[in-house]
Structure 1
Amino acid sequence: MVLRVNIDQIEPATRDWICKVQIVEIGHPRESLDKKCTFQNLILEDEEECKIKAVMYTDEIEQYADKLKLLNTYFISTARVKVSPTSYGKPIHKFYWILDKETVIEQIKPSNEVEKPLPPPTKLNITSFDRISPLMVDSAAEIDILAIVLRCGPQKNVGRSHHRCREITLCDNQKNQFLFSMGGFRRNKRT
């Protein structure tokens, strides 16, 4: 019998589980540091607003590209559950899921009479601009800001390694402006 559980109830030893989740973040596919594979990170959130990272690798990225969409709700089961590494910073959960060929993913459509899709996430801890600087000491800190984009500069190459970044000017509800640089852009491969 399949056990319906929330994210916090799932561990590597948990068997025959199913979890209702919403995709709240989809990263771009990236190459691993050793350049041996391509991976893509997703952030999933359950009915209790608990979040977990899910990872897909090369074949699954293509397999699920048309199926997995931001803010859609799914039943996921038989994902592989692994312990989150802490060497890259503080993980959002002590475990993460690997979505592979064995994983069963079923979308919950808005027209479903029995199971309704989850509403968009509401759990935000808004950080005001004046509190951002002290938080920059801890590079692993995650913050939520509420702002509008006043200016989005062009992408440019920086440094010898030609990393791509862009400067973005934001404004909060107190009319405070904040300039930050955003990096990690990929060049589109044109065929």
Structure 2
Amino acid sequence: MVNLLSIADIKPKMRGWSVHVIVQEKMHIASSQKSPTRYQKFVFSDDQGSRVEEIMFNAAIEKMGSKLHTFKKYLISNADVREIEEQYQTNGLAIQWVISAKTVVEELSEQGSCVLTNEFTPISFKDLASYADSKSQTVDIMAVVVDSMPVIPIKRDSQESFVQRFLIVNEEMVPTVLSLWNTFVENEGKLLTDHHSKHPVLICRRLKVVTYNGIALSTRNDSVIVVDPPVRDARSLKN
């Protein structure tokens, strides 16, 4: 029988451990600025509410990345555990698991109910103005998609980018524009466009607040968008 630990029990350089986790965040694949290395980050949580950052590189992304889905539950065994240097810490997390092709990743058949971690606190749209054009502060939101607009090509810094805007409302029924950029257009944007008539619910993390025809929201490279998450709060908002 597998000896299961909690996330908090797993320390740097520890070997021979196993844990049940829920994928809370799955970020897009990114590339290092000074090398061809590709990486993808995740955030896991457990039933005790502990969280940890996970990262995989290059070949591991191809083999393991597609196995992990947001709000699904998994058995993880024997990832490399290391501390994150302070200047690279995000999400308030100081420990990182490195998943390689040798790491065991098994989806569990008993998924149970999904809940949001305490760290997710959606902001009131009425308070967005206080975060406008901040370079360091981001916001988390939960909202319903009301309408979608076409994809627009834009030249930025001599490079072509793509943006797609969506009209969203939150539980306060305050309308706001959300702009998706580049990779988000190709992935979440396409999904939202195809299903906008069903008014999907979004959970978004680490959005920036911008002044676009008033106060609006926009993705960053490290933003996370989950469409119609299987959590009670999202279902309540949609109803």
1:131 aligns with 2:127: yes
Partner of 1:113: none
Any idea what the Cα deviations from partners look like across 1:130-154, whole Å, max 9, x if unmatched? 1223235654545332211223332
Give the counterpart letter for 1:24 in structure 2.
Q
Give the counterpart letter for 1:47 in structure 2.
D
Partner of 1:34: 34
Give the counterpart letter for 1:149 in structure 2.
V
1:72 aligns with 2:72: yes
State how far apart, in whole Å, the 2-side matches of 1:118 and 1:93 are. 25
For residues 20-59 of structure 1, the aligned pairs below 5 Å read: 20-59=20-59
Secondary structure at the aligned position of 1:15 is classed as coil
Partner of 2:153: 156
User: How far has the Cα of 1:57 moved from its partner?
Assistant: 1.3
Secondary structure at the aligned position of 2:68 is classed as coil
User: How far has the Cα of 1:21 moved from its partner?
Assistant: 0.3
For residues 81-160 of structure 1, the aligned pairs below 5 Å read: 81-88=81-88, 90-110=90-110, 117-123=111-117, 124-136=120-132, 139-153=135-149, 154-159=151-156, 160=158
- Residue segments in structure 1 that go unaligned for 5+ positions in a row: 111-116
State how far apart, in whole Å, the 1-side matches of 2:184 and 2:35 are. 15
Partner of 1:169: 167
- Residue segments in structure 2 that go unaligned for 5+ positions in a row: 187-239
How many residue pairs are counted as aligned between the two chains? 182
- The structure-2 alpha-carbon separation of the partners of 1:69 and 1:173, relative to structure 1 and needing over 3 Å to count, comes to closer
Superposition CA RMSD, Å: 2.7
TM-score by length of 2: 0.65
State how far apart, in whole Å, the 1-side matches of 2:132 and 2:78 are. 38
Secondary structure at the aligned position of 2:142 is classed as coil
State how far apart, in whole Å, the 1-side matches of 2:102 and 2:9 are. 20
1:24 and 1:121 in contact (8 A); partners too:
no
1:41 and 1:56 in contact (8 A); partners too:
yes
User: How far has the Cα of 1:54 moved from its partner?
Assistant: 1.1
Secondary structure at the aligned position of 1:33 is classed as coil
User: How far has the Cα of 1:121 moved from its partner?
Assistant: 2.3
Give the counterpart letter for 1:74 in structure 2.
Y
Give the counterpart letter for 2:24 in structure 1.
V
State how far apart, in whole Å, the 2-side matches of 1:11 and 1:105 are. 19
TM-score by length of 1: 0.79
- What percentage of aligned pairs have identical amino acids? 19
Partner of 1:114: none
Secondary structure at the aligned position of 1:130 is classed as helix
Give the counterpart letter for 1:175 in structure 2.
M
User: How far has the Cα of 1:34 moved from its partner?
Assistant: 2.3
The structure whose residues are more often strand, as a share, is 2
State how far apart, in whole Å, the 1-side matches of 2:78 and 2:69 are. 20
